[in-house]
Amino acid sequence: MRSVVKRGLASVLGLATLGVLGVTTAAPAQAAVSDCPSGYFCAWKTDNTTGTMFKTSESKATLGEWNNAFRSVVNRTSQIACLYDKEDYVPAVEAGTDHVVGPDTTGGYLGFGTANTGSLKFVGTARECDGNAYPAWQAETAPEAAGFGDLDGDRKADVLVRDEAGRLWFLPGDRTGRMVGTGWNDADALTRHGDVSGDGREDVIAREKATGKLWLHPGTGTGDFGARVLIGTGGWNGMDRITAFGDLTADGRSDLLAVEKTTGKLWLYPSTPTGTLGTRVLLGTGGWNAMNALVGAGDMNGDGHPDLIAREASPAKLWLYPSTATGTLGARVLIGSGGWNRLGSFLAVGDFSGDGRADLAAISGGSYVIDGVPGKQGWLVTYQGLGTGALAAGRNVDPDWDDLNGAF
């Protein structure tokens, strides 16, 4: 648990933030900064990058004569540099005493008023300066397979997390994590809810940001993914809230929902036996732009049909749209009022409490309040499903779900 150990100055300090520390000297010495070769982290014993220069392209558990000597630094690598007070990469237990230095993009440098660095480590994301790239996810074994939220088919709800470096991590539910992909920052929408390709294994659907193409990433049943398959040739940038929903059309395959940005229409894209998407069907004639989150949460009301949870932006309300046997959405039911916009995103991975009823989880946003204190961003908040469509009160589980690039 990293709740005590803060991440340096609580953020990645790109060198664009020069001066934030309040100790940077007024006279930049660009000539000396430029002596630092590309691919290296460099440091000086002065506040203004003059004099003898230290440089390294590798992590250093000890710094020898440079111990406690860094007073100005520049990071010209492509990685995050973690600077620790102590040797051997030991994070400080007090906030604000380690430094996280992001790659330089401005030709500037970072100055420190004091010199207290004992070791230096290169990592992919700021989280790794004092913890894992991924947070800890805990799930109990469900009595029955839910058909979604379970990539490896062990009846334990699992989670995918994308870190800021675009790596995808599989979290099986025992607080561990395993990297299952890189380059996922190309996608600006990611969703999963059961099997689309027809092999019984859960898949992921991703929208490629640059092209608006929709890709199917077929799950292999282990948490890994096979080669991606194109299922939407373009135009998906015109859609919002792309949400794998579950099987609305009752053919055993998970279907897709999306809101058309310009019209606010809700469309159903049924999966076909060949793993492609069939002709879309209008599910909602308008007004769906008022919803700022759609969640394919599974069967929340216990009637055997998957249900949709939607968050209305203003006033913030949580609605349950039960699906029907005929492939439509029934009359909505209010399941939450007040405060729901304080949650940033939702996780719909089924029954993680192990009582046979689908649950809901969320990651808190910056306005989330705990014990009267706002600003509690990045908490995992869990809501147990009661099997009636209603949710139990939220539980603040873990503050470590911050500084990620999505969890689903």
Binding residue for Ca ion, selected from 127, 201, 207, 376, defined by CB under 5 A: 201
Q: Which stretch binds Ca ion (CB under 5 A): 86-94, 113-121, 277-285, 314-322?
A: 314-322
Query: Smaller CB distance to Ca ion: residue 82 or 308?
Result: 308
Asked if 224 is part of the footprint of Ca ion (rule: CB under 5 A), the reply reads no
Asked if 197 is part of the footprint of Ca ion (rule: CB under 5 A), the reply reads yes
Asked if 154 is part of the footprint of Ca ion (rule: CB under 5 A), the reply reads yes
Query: Smaller CB distance to Ca ion: residue 24 or 197?
Result: 197
Query: Smaller CB distance to Ca ion: residue 128 or 202?
Result: 202
Asked if 357 is part of the footprint of Ca ion (rule: CB under 5 A), the reply reads yes
DSSP structure class, residue 329: B
Helix (H) or strand (E) holding 31: helix 30-33
Cβ pair 134, 98 in contact under 8 A: no
Q: Residues 146, 148, 153, CA angle at the centre, nearest 5°?
A: 75
Distance CA 281, CA 260 (A): 12
Query: Smaller CB distance to Ca ion: residue 118 or 389?
Result: 389
Binding residue for Ca ion, selected from 355, 367, 386, 405, defined by CB under 5 A: 355
Nearest to 341 by CA among 323, 324, 365: 365
What would the 3-class secondary structure string for 55-101 be? EECCCECCCHHHCCCCCEEEECCCCEEEEECCCCCCCCCCCCCCEEE
Binding residue for Ca ion, selected from 195, 240, 312, 403, defined by CB under 5 A: 195
Asked if 382 is part of the footprint of Ca ion (rule: CB under 5 A), the reply reads no
Asked if 305 is part of the footprint of Ca ion (rule: CB under 5 A), the reply reads yes
Asked if 150 is part of the footprint of Ca ion (rule: CB under 5 A), the reply reads yes
Query: Smaller CB distance to Ca ion: residue 301 or 341?
Result: 301
Asked if 353 is part of the footprint of Ca ion (rule: CB under 5 A), the reply reads yes
Per-residue x/- track, 271-300, Ca ion (CB under 5 A)? ----------------------------x-
Query: Smaller CB distance to Ca ion: residue 208 or 359?
Result: 359
CA distances from 289 to 207, 330, 344 (A): 19, 19, 17
Tokens of 56: 């390294």
Helix (H) or strand (E) holding 360: strand 360-364
Helices (H) and strands (E) in the chain, counts: 1, 26
DSSP structure class, residue 210: T
Query: Smaller CB distance to Ca ion: residue 322 or 378?
Result: 322
Asked if 402 is part of the footprint of Ca ion (rule: CB under 5 A), the reply reads no
Is residue 315 reached through a cis peptide bond, with omega within 30 degrees of 0 on the bond before it?
yes
Asked if 359 is part of the footprint of Ca ion (rule: CB under 5 A), the reply reads yes
Chain residues in the site for Ca ion (CB under 5 A): 150, 152, 154, 156, 158, 195, 197, 199, 201, 203, 299, 301, 303, 305, 307, 322, 351, 353, 355, 357, 359
